Amino acid sequence: MTTQFSNNPQTSRQLYINGGWSAPSNAATLPVINPATEEIVAEIAQGTSADVDRAVAAARAAFAGWSTTSAQSRALVLGKIHELMLERKEVLAQTLSLEMGASINSARAMQVPLAAEHVRVARDLLSTYRFQTVQGGTAIEREPIGVCGLITPWNWPLYQITAKVAPAIAAGCTVVLKPSELSPLSALLFAQLVHDAGLPPGVFNLVNGSGHEVGAAMAAHPDIDMISITGSNRAGALVAQAAAHTVKRVTQELGGKSPNILLPDADFAKAVPLGVMSAFRNVGQSCSAPTRMIVPKDRLAQVEALAAATANAIIVGDPRSEDTVLGPIANEAQFNRVQTMIEAGLKEGAKLVCGGLGRVQGYEKGFYARPTVFSDVDSAMRIAQEEIFGPVLCIIPYETVDEAVAIANDTVYGLGAHVQSQNLDLARAVASRIRAGQVHVNHPAWDPMAPFGGYKRSGNGREYGVYGLEEYLETKAIIGFCGASESTPHT
């Protein structure tokens, strides 16, 4: 099955603004490269600040109407978007696989259904969320913040888009989306889908292009009220700087270096393979991947053997094959970054348990990295400190639980964390000592209602569920709402 982009390159060169497809102000395009073959599979528009102006104007004009619709009518459109995502799940999965190399199985089982879940959650919240509450004589109203600029990365392209677009439009905001220029094709399908769902013109707008041009223009735009970015710390900081002059709200979901503490009583035969697979999910290109496995020193040999057996059994290869577990790294720059970090691990003297430098055997083309496990890693090493964003796991030994917690917190990041133990009380006590926005105990199922976001340099703000919805709301107090009481002095 081919996607519509290989059949119709014209489709990909347009922008979606004010309820329709239109040509960008600039004829230049950016290539989209299939990481499995290194071939160009599409060309996208290289939008400019003039295109951003046009999209923002459309979103601004639509805001007055959309922000005053009933929650029920917004839920109806979100329900339709959800329905269409499920109806079009195969073409979405094929497109994700094409644009960023996700194995077709993982695109079908995770990238698409989890993306759809954000839309379902936003729809369902609208039937319970109270946009107005009364406190004493004062009404507290939660109102949409306005026009939102949404900037998303390439690693979970559709999932990151719905995690922002769904709560924003559920809140009554209008949006301008700039997906990653490296994996923008699923975003184009999403724009068509939103159109077909009947979202009014201007509520959702899509401007493709580079971060330094389109993204920067959005961050600085005086008529955008809020920017939400998921991406690298570099881009997150630049967006905050550019946004500062207009004092807009900025939420950032940035990097991570998540720890996974295996307490001495954990079931190692289960916890180690699950930990490895969790670190390598999406070829390790997940901001919350638990890439630091922190284990008791006297169990190191056992952990290494279990980790190597798990990593060596992973089928890495052509993402279109049904047997493939991990496809290629999503793009060349990221492949090179992973190689640099494996080299750093070797130079710093970490013990290579399996994997290593170079491509997976049998592949001369395609960004296929080898699942790599380092052991006896010191927490001060680069591979333990820097986000690698590839299939590279660091096993770090500890002697006491206090030391394990200290290692877990020895990072500038604070996004995710994991704790493994057969004693829930012990696991909970350790979880409460970790400085991170989400702690997973014994590899639980994904919870789309659990707030997601980072402490420290992992970002500001939360996504998913009620917390995600509230990021897109302002708070207004109407004092005297229940009738005037005696006047008192105020500041």
Q: Return the SS3 of 455.
A: coil
296 binds ligand NAD, rule: CB under 6 A:
no
- Give burial (CB, 10 Å; 0-12/13-18/19+) of 10: exposed
Asked if 197 contacts 149 with a C-beta cutoff of 8 angstroms, the reply is no
Q: Which CB, 84 or 168, lies closer to ligand NAD?
A: 168
Scan residues 276-295 and list those touching ligand NAD (CB under 6 A). Answer: 287
CB of 18 to ligand NAD, least distance (A): 22
Asked if 285 contacts 385 with a C-beta cutoff of 8 angstroms, the reply is no
Query: Which of 290, 296, 355, 459 is close enough to bind ligand NAD by CB under 6 A?
Result: 459
Note if 253 is an active site residue. yes
Q: Which of 253, 304, 463, 471 is catalytic?
A: 253
Site string for ligand NAD, 195-224 (x = CB under 6 A): ---------------xxx--xx--x-----
CB of 121 to ligand NAD, least distance (A): 16
CB of 181 to ligand NAD, least distance (A): 5
51 binds ligand NAD, rule: CB under 6 A:
no
Rounded distance, CA 404 to CA 388, Å?
21
Note if 148 is an active site residue. no
Asked if 158 contacts 92 with a C-beta cutoff of 8 angstroms, the reply is yes
Q: Which CB, 119 or 242, lies closer to ligand NAD?
A: 242
CB of 261 to ligand NAD, least distance (A): 20
Distance between start and end Cα atoms, the chain: 66
Give the up-direction half-sphere exposure of residue 148: CA atoms within 13 A in the CB hemisphere. 31
Q: How far is residue 126 from each of residues 70, 144, 163, 197, 413, measured CA to CA in Å?
A: 9, 13, 15, 17, 33
Q: Which of 148, 173, 287, 354 is catalytic?
A: 287
Q: From 41, 33, 14, 11, select the one nearest 207 (Cα to Cα).
A: 14
Rounded distance, CA 107 to CA 94, Å?
8
Question: At residue 62, what is the residue type?
Answer: A
Scan residues 240-279 and list those touching ligand NAD (CB under 6 A). Answer: 253-256
185 binds ligand NAD, rule: CB under 6 A:
no
- How many residues at the interface with ligand NAD, by CB under 6 A? 32
Q: Which residues pair with 473 in a beta bridge?
A: 144
Asked if 293 contacts 396 with a C-beta cutoff of 8 angstroms, the reply is yes
Scan residues 395-454 and list those touching ligand NAD (CB under 6 A). Answer: 415, 454
Between 71-87 and 112-125, two packed helices, what is the crossing angle to 10 degrees?
Answer: 160
Site string for ligand NAD, 143-172 (x = CB under 6 A): --------xxxxx-----------------
471 binds ligand NAD, rule: CB under 6 A:
no
Residue numbers annotated as active site: 253, 287
Residues that bind ligand NAD (CB under 6 A): 151-155, 178, 180-181, 210-212, 215-216, 219, 229-232, 235, 238-239, 253-256, 287, 387, 389, 415, 454, 458-459
